[in-house]
Chains A and B, each alone.
Chain A
């Protein structure tokens, strides 16, 4: 038998229900694996006491036969989620010492379903980054390694991706504002889905760009993501943008039959300078879906090239407003003041000390695009282009396309520190294939589909119709089975 921590959620669920293993054993295996993986810097706050207590309670529920699918399953939680009494600082110095008095809706749902919390996972500060290098905890490291270089696990949910890929937990929560679940999933050879905007409550998740942020699961298989999403999703009166729709049984949607489904291939995603390996993988993905009986059609999403610039107006604008709350008054860090300092000095010094460079940059860009004289030229124009980007997708779906296939990222994982000298826009290009999905509010999933020439994982992305995650997961499961990706990183940590 493989190590317990290497099990999938589906496999562990079945073994738990058959009483072949206990959650206490499973949880202990994960805690041991996590403690031995400090070189990955994936977990930044461990909660072994909570985990042990939750595992015991889960075993009791399992013994009683009252066991929802996630009962007894050990998970890691991105540091962006507020967890009651447990450090939740969005990987930022400005939230140092913050212990929420409340639990986010998504994590509360997971605990209600019997899941076990191992601890909090590393990420880019306030989810702003694509390499996990903006974290106050230091970078998380990708368990995949092919030479002496340490590679990024991607970002912002880099700790989640590293922890799942290294079998430190069975699954993890992530959040995705421009690609922050899908890009790290691709870099780490795991699966991650960003659901439709409104599917998961945002309540209790530290806000970055509220019109784009969505929580989602990151796991070892499409099935595991379907199981986790079922527990995370659902209407919440505490989030006015949460959709009041029933949550279907996503796992039951995995029929494996995609015959007659129509898959669109958007020509605008064939970017100039795209590495040949990415293009080849995309072609293979198309062939796999065709072999499974899907109809493949070329489609056009003409405003694709404007998605990143649109995002870099809207996301900073919303961030500048959301992050105004970090003022050194109600929670988190406050700078030491000198005699004569007033409230303005308190704000300015606190925010200068508490925020990292990328976060400051985005707050100030957002401040600029919202300032008098530029609001129409930048912010309102970006909102109009966003409407056009969404219209592109609406038209493709209206023409009968069920899902759209693209690469997840323009490259495999790169080395930590390699982008240090690049200008910020170079880092932003990581999200070129994923950001459109957030702007249009659609569900998107990354499935590991192969290795590049150096042996690093690459992902393919499927984009679905709004609120049809079940259908999207089913297409993804078909791609997963055809790709047959079973590789795991060799342990070096």
Chain B
């Protein structure tokens, strides 16, 4: 499996990380090194093995479905790069 610059660009897009076109070749090459390393997994016999879901045999705890927290608008917005009138502000999304 070899990754070309088109695939590298597609992955960068999916990850929402801007990569300059000039850097795609180096990125693709790094991906190929890492994926080449990962390829070893293909030789393991995993027939009949269930994919691990949780490393400790525990059932996730459940709790009563009720509100336990809230009313903290100022604290939630305190670290926002741009907060206005009680909202997170972002560039225009809908024309």
A: residues with CB less than 8 A from B are: 97-101, 196-198, 211, 237, 240-241, 243-244, 303, 305-306, 308-310, 312-313, 320, 324, 327-334, 337, 341-349, 351-352, 355, 360-361, 363-365, 367-369, 371, 378, 380-388, 390, 423-425, 428, 439-441, 466
Contact = CB atoms under 8 A, between A and B. Distances in A.
A386 B44 CA distance: 11
A337 B91 contact: yes
Contact of A364 (B31, B49, B93): B31
A77 B32 CA distance: 37
A384 B49 contact: yes
B67 interface: no
B61 A244 contact: yes
Given A306-B44, A312-B34, A387 B52 contact: yes
A428 B7 CA distance: 24
Contacts of A303: 44
A327 B35 CA distance: 27
A466 B92 CA distance: 51
Contacts of B3: 368
A448 B69 CA distance: 45
A98 B34 contact: no
B17 A243 contact: no
B11 A333 contact: no
Contacts of A345: 91
A329 B80 contact: yes
A371 B11 contact: yes
Given A330-B79, A341-B91, A237 B58 contact: no
Interface string B35-64: 101111110101001111111101011010
Interface string B64-75: 000000001001
Contacts of B85: none
Given A313-B41, A344-B16, A385-B46, 9 more contacts: A101-B76, A198-B56, A306-B40, A329-B80, A334-B82, A360-B17, A378-B41, A381-B46, A383-B52
A361 B90 contact: no
Interface residues of B, number: 50
Given A342-B93, A424-B33, A367 B11 contact: yes
B81 interface: yes
B11 A364 contact: yes
A352 B51 contact: no
B63 A237 contact: yes
A382 B31 contact: no
Interface centre among B51, B76, B82 (most CB of A within 10 A): B51
B49 A423 contact: no
A26 to B, nearest CB: 33
A440 B55 contact: yes
A309 B37 contact: yes
B28 to A, nearest CB: 10
B34 to A, nearest CB: 6
A344 B50 CA distance: 38
Given A330-B80, A364-B31, A352 B15 contact: no
Interface in B1-35: 3, 7-8, 11-12, 14-19, 27, 30-31, 33-35
A380 B42 CA distance: 11
A211 B52 CA distance: 10
6 contacts: A329-B81, A330-B79, A330-B80, A364-B12, A384-B51, A428-B37
A197 B55 contact: yes
B79 A99 contact: yes
Interface centre among A360, A368, A387 (most CB of B within 10 A): A368
Nearest to A102: B75
A355 to B, nearest CB: 7
Nearest 5 CB-CB pairings of A with B: A441-B55, A383-B51, A334-B81, A331-B79, A352-B18
B56 A466 contact: yes
Given A198-B56, A441-B56, A385 B31 contact: no
A174 B52 CA distance: 26
